[in-house]
Amino acid sequence: MKHRNVSNFLLLLLCGAVFSDDSLVVSTTTKPEKEVTAETETKNDTEINPKIYSMHIDSNVTNRFATTLVTSKVRNLKKTAAETTFSVVLPENAFISAFEMEIEGKIYKAHVKEKQEAKQIYQEAVSRGQSAAHVELNARDSKTFTVSVNIEPESKTTFRLTYEELLKRQLGQYELVINIHPGQLVDDLDVRVHINESRPLTFVKTPSLRTGNEISKNADKLDPSAKIEIMNSTSALVEFSPDKGKQKEFGQLLGSEKESGLAGQFIVQYDVERDPQGGEVLVRDGYFVHFFSPSELKPLPKHIVFVLDHSGSMSGRKIDQLIEAMQNILTDLKETDLFNIVRFGDLAMVWDVSQNQFTQLPNFNEYGNLEPHLREINLPRAVNGTEENIEAAKKIIEDKSRLGMTNMMYGLEVGLFLIKRTQEETPDKYQPMIVFLTDGHPNAGMSGRDEITNTVTSLNSGKKKASIFSLSFGDFADKRFLRKISSKNSGFSRHIYESSDASLQLQDFYRAISAPLLSNVNFKYVDDVKDVTVTHYPILFNGSELVVAGRINDNPHVLNHVEAWCPIGPIKFNATINTEAVSSLERLWAYLTVKQMLKQKETAENAANLTKKALDLSLKYSFVTPITSLVVVKPNQTEAVDSEAAKSSPGRYDGARSAVAPSFSAPVPAYYPGMSSGISGRSFISSDYSGRAALYFPPPDRFFPPPPVNFRTTRRPYFLKPSSTSLPPPQNAIVPQWLEIMRTNNGNITTLQGIYKLGQSGAVTTRPQCPKTPTGTVGECVIIFDCPEIFKDLPDLNTYLQYFCPLNEFAGVCCPPKIPAPLP
């Protein structure tokens, strides 16, 4: 068989992460490996799947900034081409900074471009018959990076993906989570984490492996027994290299199939010595970073208002989990704390400790201006977290009464009023906080999302505004809306997954915010510091850390002081200057700057200016962000690479597929977007509300023998409308090569409207009218193979898409009207 240069396409996807927010999944969609014997090679070649013979994950953590390289090496043991998939679910805050594939000794690298430019490059490359790749990240929840590729017979392919992130300190430690799910046993599986910090390490540990979804019942049996080597007081090396036996054992304990191997999270936790005062400032090569987490501080007394959704959608399991979580959260309140409980549905209710019941409020229907009414009805006061009050609250919280629809504005406005009244009566004594939980969308009272956000922000004003922490519970909560409310009101949001451990998720969230140490924190620097990241933070919580980075001239004396508010009043801190940072700080500064600009633009009036600045930095430092994309254009090659949209669960696998030769022979010029070998592909850049986004390649391809000169199709007679005026279709029309390849491979085609089946002639009998045929007239939408007379007018996929029309799940074409074909 002779091979000629053509190009196929490869699809990489970034889509919604299924595992925990801070997880990394490394997976392929191949089925568990089978033992290779002479018999399987001769009798069951199609059942032998590509083998991952090496998977290495190397993470280098310096100055709390982690750079992770994932390398997967795959071998095709078959004598025919087979497909494999490399997939990584990225941490929520990570930026991809490099991707490359090594195929037959050649390395193909991706480059970061502005999103629209990347699309244009991709489209132009495809139109020239070149290979092209494109990846974009459209939403924060888009985490899965996936590439599917056909491996040549008895050959190897290597994938390398690099991403970067700043580790976040919570509950007194940094945590790096690596979620490994190869889908098979791997001969050489190795994870190495290199930690190199500027301050002494206080501990380094590797807790039990996790499933990545819910709390495992086998935690005591899942000790990874990782090797931890303390190099010196500031550096350590952690290595996890389970052999195939341990992979199988861990996999079964974590709930995977026997031969699927390890399927879980490997975690490294560590912390460093704290500066008791103003934190530590590192300076190197014109950049600085300031880590601030003072120790030996007493928590601020807080006034916390729980605003909880009790609408009809919360009934059943969710309300039970909320009650369970609140039982434990209430127990953690201190006597010095104040708290209220507000429920909302159609209306709002406030807990009255004196009556030990909820007081329902009338429907005032003047949202944004309820304060006069609320003052008149003398709402219950906040109460201290005494043992007696906590026990009373735990009893009343067990009430499962449903309150109809979802009037979020009423609940939030009542909560803000309770905060304001306490601030008026006891100025500056309590740190005001609102924990707002809902599982749905506003559908009663004020329902406009922007209107609610703006009204809440306007009401939450004054000397000491409340921090609003939003919890989106379950799949139907409006996460983006809640994130915006919190961002504009000195808080942050979290998503609570609707699973058996939802109660624990709620408790963990509360633990992170339960002990505010400082409020109104401001970082003050000398004049020659520039391009500084955010310098004002509303709250610092116990166990967390504030990070500021910037650029500086030759003056190493960066900091003047940090100002904040503590339980005894205003306070100032001086920082320690360290000019011996263990590595460059430039990328850390760039990363933090881009992250904060992207967050600020969601609520800023000058969004265009922030977007432009974030784009410039993303391009300079090769960060794949919501405003940039990866793109690769390379010459035509001679191996097959195909595409697959990432599954909703990276842990699934569909098995490696072999490239099946079609039943004709001809030199194929080039593969087109939307073509695939056994799986669906995409020919355009798309995203949806699940946060799905795509990266495309047309790389190396396989060739097929030439087709007969007189290729024929056999079809049934046409019985059409008597008014049809065109001639019957020709019976010897040659199917366009691009169309025959797509039909032979997987029979699907991808358009801007979605993925459709090509279908066989006669699969659909209805013929709806369509606006324009290749001849410029109004036509009838038919299966493409039912209109062979226009094959000559469809030289490529892009031309066909101009005349595409949908027929339920099938791809149609706008065909000139026909007269009935004569019966034989």
Q: How far apart are CA 608 and CA 532, in angstroms?
A: 20
Task: Taking the CA atoms of 727, 731, 736 and 742 in sequence, report the sign of the dihedral they define.
Answer: positive
Percent of the chain's residues with pLDDT above 70: 75
**Domain boundaries in the chain?**
10-271+625-697, 276-297+517-574, 302-514, 708-824
The per-residue pLDDT for 127 is 62
Q: Hey, what are 409's tokens?
A: 């504005």
Q: How far apart are CA 174 and CA 590, in angstroms?
A: 21
Q: How far apart are CA 115 and CA 693, in angstroms?
A: 12
Q: Find the mean pLDDT for residues 153-178.
A: 92
Classified as helix, coil or strand, 618 is helix
Please provide the CATH number assigned to the domain covering 302-514.
3.40.50.410
The per-residue pLDDT for 739 is 83
Q: Find the mean pLDDT for residues 62-88.
A: 88
Q: Hey, what are 218's tokens?
A: 């086998």
Classified as helix, coil or strand, 393 is helix
> Which of the four pLDDT bands, split at 50, 70 and 90, describes residue 182?
confident
| The amino acid at 820 | P
pLDDT for residue 658 is more than 50? no
User: Phi and psi of 456, rounded to 5°?
Assistant: -60, -45
Which among 685, 796, 680, 682 is positioned nearest to 745, based on CA atoms? Answer: 680
Over the chain, what is the mean pLDDT? 77
Classified as helix, coil or strand, 523 is strand
Q: How many CA atoms lie within 13 A of 459 on its CB side?
A: 25
Q: Find the mean pLDDT for residues 316-320.
A: 86
The per-residue pLDDT for 500 is 78
pLDDT for residue 400 is more than 60? yes
Listed range (26-30, 438-442, 818-822) with the worst mean pLDDT: 26-30
List for the chain the helix, strand, coil content (%; round to 5). 20, 35, 45
Q: How far apart are CA 247 and CA 225, in angstroms?
A: 13
CA 501 to chain centre: 21
Q: Find the mean pLDDT for residues 528-551.
A: 92
The DSSP 8-state label assigned to residue 617 in this structure reads H
> Taking the CB of residue 676, how many other CB atoms lie within 10 A of it?
30
> Taking the CB of residue 820, how many other CB atoms lie within 10 A of it?
13
The per-residue pLDDT for 732 is 54
The per-residue pLDDT for 19 is 32
Q: Find the mean pLDDT for residues 383-399.
A: 93
| The amino acid at 693 | A
Strands of the sheet with 51-62, listed across from one edge: 106-109, 95-103, 156-166, 65-75, 51-62, 188-196, 235-240, 227-232
Q: How far apart are CA 676 and CA 11, in angstroms?
A: 9
Mark out the alpha helices in 343-491 (DSSP H runs).
Answer: 371-376, 387-396, 408-425, 449-459, 479-487
Classified as helix, coil or strand, 103 is strand
Which among 16, 22, 131, 1 is positioned nearest to 512, based on CA atoms? Answer: 22
Listed range (236-245, 433-442, 530-539, 603-612) with the worst mean pLDDT: 603-612
Query: Torsion angle of alpha carbons 508, 509, 511, 515, nearest 10°?
Result: 170
Q: How far apart are CA 630 and CA 96, in angstroms?
A: 9
Classified as helix, coil or strand, 404 is coil
pTM for the structure as a whole: 0.71
- Residue 546 host element (H or E): strand 546-552
Length of the chain: 824
Residue for token digits 């700057």?
593
The per-residue pLDDT for 112 is 83
The per-residue pLDDT for 190 is 96
Listed range (77-86, 165-174, 494-503, 632-641) with the worst mean pLDDT: 632-641
Task: Taking the CA atoms of 482, 483, 484 and 489 in sequence, report the sign of the dihedral they define.
Answer: positive
The DSSP 8-state label assigned to residue 818 in this structure reads B
Listed range (2-16, 111-125, 180-194) with the worst mean pLDDT: 2-16
Instruction: Specify the higher pLDDT residue, 147 or 539.
Output: 539
Q: How far apart are CA 264 and CA 219, in angstroms?
A: 12
Contact between 386 and 346 (Cβ < 8 Å): no
Contact between 536 and 542 (Cβ < 8 Å): no
3-state secondary structure 447-483: CCHHHHHHHHHHHCCCCCCCEEEEEEECCCCCHHHHH
Listed range (172-176, 258-262, 745-749) with the worst mean pLDDT: 745-749
| The amino acid at 446 | M
- Residue 769 host element (H or E): strand 769-770
> Taking the CB of residue 203, how many other CB atoms lie within 10 A of it?
12
Q: Hey, what are 426's tokens?
A: 């006891």
Task: Taking the CA atoms of 420, 426, 427 and 431 in sequence, report the sign of the dihedral they define.
Answer: negative
Q: Find the mean pLDDT for residues 216-232.
A: 84
pLDDT for residue 178 is more than 60? yes
> Taking the CB of residue 267, how many other CB atoms lie within 10 A of it?
22
Mark out the alpha helices in 25-131 (DSSP H runs).
Answer: 38-43, 115-127
The per-residue pLDDT for 258 is 67
The per-residue pLDDT for 502 is 81
Which of 39-48, 130-139, 211-220 shows the highest mean pLDDT?
211-220
Classified as helix, coil or strand, 252 is helix
The per-residue pLDDT for 135 is 47
The per-residue pLDDT for 723 is 34
Instruction: Specify the higher pLDDT residue, 362 or 698.
Output: 362
Beta bridge partners of 58: 69, 192
Beta bridge partners of 655: none
Q: Find the mean pLDDT for residues 401-426.
A: 91
Contact between 293 and 199 (Cβ < 8 Å): no
User: Phi and psi of 268, rounded to 5°?
Assistant: -120, 125
The per-residue pLDDT for 753 is 64
The per-residue pLDDT for 93 is 86
The DSSP 8-state label assigned to residue 573 in this structure reads E
pLDDT for residue 164 is more than 60? yes
Which among 781, 765, 761, 764 is positioned nearest to 773, based on CA atoms? Answer: 781
Q: Hey, what are 470's tokens?
A: 């939003």
In sequence order, which residues have a C-beta less than 8 Å from that of residue 147 and are 6 or more positions away? 10, 11, 12, 85, 86, 87, 101, 159, 695, 697
* DSSP secondary structure of 158-204: EEEEEEEEEPPEETTEEEEEEEEE-SS--SEEEEEEEEE-SS-EEEE
Which among 274, 307, 308, 312 is positioned nearest to 293, based on CA atoms? Answer: 274
The per-residue pLDDT for 263 is 81
Please compute Rg for the chain using Cα positions: 30
pLDDT digits (tens, 9 = 90+) for 605-648: 778 888 999 999 999 999 998 888 877 554 343 222 222 223 33
User: Phi and psi of 602, rounded to 5°?
Assistant: -65, -30
